[in-house]
């Protein structure tokens, strides 16, 4: 599933109209008025890369890798590496990234994780080929699993065949950001107990090539006035936009870069 448009939102869940107070702010996010950027993907990994190994440190590193392996893997596959080689090299790259504390030396004043990680991977392939090959053959460096979404990434590869390597990377990055934002919102709505009408409302906020359902028919099916349904959809779209902005904010070093990244994400997904 690709949530295509930034003008679409996401869903609320649970049951009757009174449960759809979708505009509640999420603590610690941009919804509370310019939220601090203390908890970003940058700082997560910088913190996780420090100190002695621990369960929380390993979890942080694993979560970071799981978030960013899809575009790196797609980039390598687009360069005609086999699936096995691309998997192994992405794993080896992350080991290198953390062993050498590469993120600690990054110029965060210019920091966008998507560009930093791609340039770091390219340098790794050029300068560390022999080491990467050794790691790849060793098979003892795996720090995260590709199993859950590998088939989905592979299935999407034909759609990027006409793109160059970097455009393939950026489009996969954009799709990953959108999916994380969607999942984060779903988790929030689950915690709020607002999940009952998710499947009914999702087509109105997810976008895609299919025609949207008839609103009158959906409203009748779930037993609410059309005006109420439209209010839910509007609020849900706003919450999705907020969730997406929070996710984009976590990938840049400076708050000033968020709007530009949002526009770039939009261009990628509608192209």
* pLDDT interval class at 50 (50, 70, 90): low
Task: Tell me the mean pLDDT in the region 227-237.
Answer: 94
Task: Tell me the mean pLDDT in the region 103-113.
Answer: 65
| Among 50-59, 90-99, 232-241, the range of highest mean pLDDT | 232-241
For residue 45, the model assigns a pLDDT of 59
Closest Cα partner for 15 from 238, 181, 237, 228?
A: 228
pTM: 0.74
Q: Are the beta carbons of 200 and 218 closer than 8 angstroms?
A: yes
Residue 169 and residue 117: Cα distance in Å, rounded? 11
Residue 236 has pLDDT above 60, yes or no: yes
Beta bridge partners of 112: 252
For residue 235, the model assigns a pLDDT of 92
The set of residues, in sequence order, having a beta carbon less than 8 Å from that of 43 and lying 6+ positions away, is 37
More confident residue, 7 or 172: 172
Within its chain, how far is the Cα of 90 from the centroid? 17
Task: Tell me the mean pLDDT in the region 237-256.
Answer: 89
The number of beta carbons lying within 10 Å of the beta carbon of residue 37 is: 16
For residue 220, the model assigns a pLDDT of 95
Task: Tell me the mean pLDDT in the region 197-209.
Answer: 81
Residue 15 has pLDDT above 60, yes or no: no
The number of CA neighbours under 13 Å toward the Cβ of 79 is 14
Residue 24 has pLDDT above 80, yes or no: no
Task: Tell me the mean pLDDT in the region 19-44.
Answer: 41
Task: Tell me the mean pLDDT in the region 7-32.
Answer: 35
For residue 42, the model assigns a pLDDT of 64
């Amino acid at each position: 599933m690709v949530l295509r448009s930034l003008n679409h939102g996401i869903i609320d869940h649970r049951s009757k109209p009174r449960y759809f107070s979708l505009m509640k702010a999420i603590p610690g996010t941009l919804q509370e008025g310019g939220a601090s950027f203390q908890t970003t993907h940058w700082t997560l990994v910088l913190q996780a890369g420090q100190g002695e190994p621990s369960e929380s440190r390993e979890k942080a590193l694993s979560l970071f890798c799981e978030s960013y392996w899809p575009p790196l893997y797609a980039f390598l596959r687009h360069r005609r590496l086999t699936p096995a080689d691309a998997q192994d090299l992405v794993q080896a790259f992350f080991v290198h990234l953390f062993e050498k504390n590469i993120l600690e030396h990054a110029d965060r004043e210019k920091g966008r994780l998507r560009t930093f990680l791609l340039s770091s991977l390219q340098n790794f392939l050029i300068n560390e080929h022999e080491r990467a090959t050794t790691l790849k053959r060793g098979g003892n460096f795996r720090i995260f699993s590709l199993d859950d979404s590998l088939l989905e990434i592979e299935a999407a590869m034909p759609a990027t065949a006409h793109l160059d390597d970097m455009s393939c990377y950026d489009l996969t990055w954009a799709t990953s950001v959108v999916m994380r934002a969607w999942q984060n919102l779903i988790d929030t709505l689950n915690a709020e107990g607002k999940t009952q009408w998710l499947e009914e409302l999702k087509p109105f906020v997810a976008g895609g090539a299919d025609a949207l359902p008839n609103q009158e028919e959906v409203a009748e099916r779930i037993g609410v006035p059309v005006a109420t349904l439209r209010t839910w959809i509007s609020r849900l779209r706003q919450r999705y936009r907020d969730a997406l902005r929070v996710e984009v904010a976590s990938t840049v070093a400076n708050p000033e870069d968020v709007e530009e990244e949002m526009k770039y994400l939009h261009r990628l997904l509608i192209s």
